[in-house]
Structure 1
Amino acid sequence: MKAVTISRYGSTEVLEYSEIEKPQITPNQLLVKIQATSVNPVDWKIRQGQIQLLSGFNFPIVLGCDLSGVVLEVGEKVENFEPGDEIYTFINPLVGGAYAEYIAIPANTAALKPKNITHSQAAAIPVAGLTAFQALLDLGQIRPGQKVLINGASGGVGTFAVQIAKAMKTEVIGVCSSKNITLVESLGADRVIDYNQIDFTKESEQYEIIFDAVGKETFSSCENVLKPEGIYISTLPTVENLPSTLITLFMPGKKSKLVLAQPNPRDLISIRELIEDELVKPIIDRTYKLGEIAEAHAYSEMGRAVGKIVISNEETSLVD
């Protein structure tokens, strides 16, 4: 099967579009024909070798974690899926494997994809959508009527966070650049702050939840604009945020938390319901083919993507 592999760490030049062996499934797995995947920053951080102590040196490595596709084979112990089911999920980025035509995945990490969107749209959801969902609902304990600020509101995670927070009937304030204000407003934000004009951490407004979807702030920088029981949530375990997360865990009052999304079928189902109810939609910046992965990585590394970057295989046949 075709896949994108790396045999060493480095620039986009190390990405190889090559032929590798098709995976075999175990009794608890699904063999999935991947119709689409997406680019997450963790993919090119692994490729660059930024986290090689975790990703290791067992080359070749197949990158990619988001996926949407069609079940071709079902393990003998799997009861809730059958061939032909259209599913979506993500796999551990350190394991990878989604930049390929086929993948074997644990059945207990997947869910049926939303019926009203394409595979390309569905592949934009898992990592970013689950990060936003689990940050706001599990860590933030979001409730109707709260005031929620989303920093990085036009990004992959942020676009989902704005919509999910609005679906939860909260007052949503988005922070982004001026060129993306209209988009964030269209997603339901009640107010949008241009970070080039206003520093929200210096304003008098206070929030129950601040979700830093791009990891640009810290708990200490946001503490003054959190309400007395407010929660700051970041996507990045920085040296500034790790101590505050540990300290506030054991103290009353304001909290600092870190989100690390997990491929939870229950949450994938909840997001599917939000999408099928047309309360949430994936925002796609650009779509590439699998053989164009170098261009997709280069664009992602620029940090200018609005929403998600998708890699589509939808034109390929479901038959070998």
Structure 2
Amino acid sequence: MMKRVQYHRFGGLEELRLDDVPQPEPGPGQIRVRVRAAAANPMDWKIRRGEMKMLSGSRFPRGLGHDFAGVVDAVGPDTVRLKPGDEVVGVATIRAAGAFAESVIAEEKNSVLKAPSMAFEQAAALTLVAVTAWSGLVMRAQVRPGQSVFIAGCLGGVGRAAVQIARMRGARITGSCSAGGRDEALALGVSDVVDYQDFDAAGYPGLFDVVFDTAGKLSLSQCGGMLKRGGQSLHIVPTFAKMIGSLFSPRRRLVFGNPTPESLASIAEAGERGQLIPAIGRIVPLSEAIPALVELEMTGLPKGKLVVVPDQ
């Protein structure tokens, strides 16, 4: 048996339980990982509330959490890259989830070797946000040296990763955040910092090759007005208008955190080189995960990633 944070129906925070469940067994192409660290993402509570059931399915009980780092302790048939004893980082699937646990089942294709110099906590905190930013800036927009990128929400989880990836790609970065985050954004690599409360998209006509709305606050028309000819806007909050808009114009792209071995390996290498560093706000043991998740969802605190580690 093992401990796992899970819920038995869609709903509010009161549905969360820390239960004893049977130790899972990996199937074909899967690995079982002894979790050393797992990180929270807004997607976790959106799924728990039932807002993503088209993707997550409605099977219960459901585990919580997707980002993990740990040590492989069992492999299923048809695994080819990883073996017991490997230190890995990865993302559990939306349907399976379950990273806030003593062990998690993951697809081998969604897991790679952890960079040796990165702590498990850092590796787990980086995974999904960096995969999302990488999917947008590298795989979708193919950002190149000398291009101009606007990142809305540049100090959020995805926004912070996007700034660092855009900087790696040689782009010039403008970003929006709170006035109090200005110095932090400049230190991260943002050249021009905009207070999001005073931001007016009309003041930036046709200036950017890429507009990446990681905060979900900009409309399609605002983003379009900020783009150069041939530019692209990227969106991680899939509103109805943005889903429809992305169907009719290659300049508008919805971005999802779809991990691949290649993107995960590139992210791990960037982490090893110190080019991708997550902001960790709090680290708690698994036994205290539910109160910490409640506080995070209700208050937005702490700033930075919430990381869950095994009980000592």
- Verify same fold: TM over 0.5: yes
The count of residues paired between Structure 1 and Structure 2 equals: 310
In 2, are the aligned partners of 1:10 and 1:47 still within 8 Å (CA)?
Answer: yes
In 2, are the aligned partners of 1:148 and 1:207 still within 8 Å (CA)?
Answer: yes
Moved more, 50-59 or 37-46: 50-59
Deviations 1:162-207 (A, max 9, x none): 0110111110111111122222111111111111223244334610
Q: Could you tell me which amino acid in structure 2 is paired with residue 275 of structure 1?
A: G
Deviations 1:34-88 (A, max 9, x none): 1111111111112223334544443211111111110112334323222211101
1:250-269 equivalent positions in 2, closer than 5 A? 255-269=251-265
Q: Could you tell me which amino acid in structure 2 is paired with residue 176 of structure 1?
A: C
Secondary structure in structure 1 of the residue aligned to 2:135: helix
Partner of 1:247: 248
Q: Could you tell me which amino acid in structure 1 is paired with residue 308 of structure 2?
A: I
> Residues 10 and 27 of structure 1: is their aligned pair in 2 closer, same or farther, counting only changes over 3 Å?
closer
Question: Which of 280, 286, 291 is the aligned partner of 1:290?
Answer: 286
For 1:267 and 1:85, the matched residues in 2 are separated by 19
Deviations 1:259-292 (A, max 9, x none): 1111211111111111111122111122222222
Partner of 1:126: 127
1:1-320 equivalent positions in 2, closer than 5 A? 1-204=2-205, 206-249=207-250, 255-301=251-297, 302-303=299-300, 306-313=303-310, 316=312
For 2:270 and 2:24, the matched residues in 1 are separated by 33
Q: Could you tell me which amino acid in structure 1 is paired with residue 229 of structure 2?
A: P
Aligned-residue RMSD, C-alpha: 1.8
Give 1:213 shift: 0.9
For 2:81 and 2:93, the matched residues in 1 are separated by 22
For 1:146 and 1:307, the matched residues in 2 are separated by 28
For 1:217 and 1:72, the matched residues in 2 are separated by 44
For 2:132 and 2:191, the matched residues in 1 are separated by 22
For 1:197 and 1:138, the matched residues in 2 are separated by 31
> Residues 55 and 270 of structure 1: is their aligned pair in 2 closer, same or farther, counting only changes over 3 Å?
closer
For 1:189 and 1:128, the matched residues in 2 are separated by 18
Secondary structure in structure 2 of the residue aligned to 1:240: helix
In 2, are the aligned partners of 1:152 and 1:175 still within 8 Å (CA)?
Answer: yes
Secondary structure in structure 1 of the residue aligned to 2:240: coil
In 1, are the aligned partners of 2:28 and 2:79 still within 8 Å (CA)?
Answer: yes
> Residues 230 and 306 of structure 1: is their aligned pair in 2 closer, same or farther, counting only changes over 3 Å?
farther
- 5+ residue gaps, structure 2: none
In 2, are the aligned partners of 1:201 and 1:222 still within 8 Å (CA)?
Answer: no
> Residues 83 and 165 of structure 1: is their aligned pair in 2 closer, same or farther, counting only changes over 3 Å?
same
Q: Could you tell me which amino acid in structure 1 is paired with residue 74 of structure 2?
A: E
In 1, are the aligned partners of 2:91 and 2:106 still within 8 Å (CA)?
Answer: no
In 2, are the aligned partners of 1:148 and 1:209 still within 8 Å (CA)?
Answer: yes
Deviations 1:241-271 (A, max 9, x none): 122211113xxxxx01011111211111111
For 1:99 and 1:119, the matched residues in 2 are separated by 14
Partner of 1:252: none
In 1, are the aligned partners of 2:5 and 2:290 still within 8 Å (CA)?
Answer: no
Give 1:26 shift: 2.3
For 1:124 and 1:32, the matched residues in 2 are separated by 16
> Residues 56 and 78 of structure 1: is their aligned pair in 2 closer, same or farther, counting only changes over 3 Å?
closer
For 2:53 and 2:249, the matched residues in 1 are separated by 30
